[in-house]
Amino acid sequence: MDNNLAEIYKVETKVMNRAVKRNLDRFPNAFRFQFGTSSFEYGGRRYLPFVFTEQGVAMLSAVLRSETAVKVSIEIMNAFVEMRKLKQAEHDQKFEELFDKLFKLF
Strand (E) or helix (H) holding 32: strand 32-34
3-state secondary structure 35-70: CCCCCHHHCCCCCCCEEECHHHHHHHHHHCCCHHHH
Query: What would the mean pLDDT of 6-18 be, rounded to a whole number?
Result: 93
Domain with 79, as residue range(s), is 2-105
What is the tens place of the pLDDT at every residue in 14-68? 999 999 999 999 999 999 998 776 555 556 677 888 999 999 999 999 999 999 9
Asked if residue 32 lies in contact with residue 53, where contact means CB atoms within 8 angstroms, the answer is yes
The residue among 80 and 46 whose pLDDT is bigger is 80
Q: Could you give the C-alpha distances from 30 to 6, 37, 54, in angstroms and in order?
A: 19, 20, 9
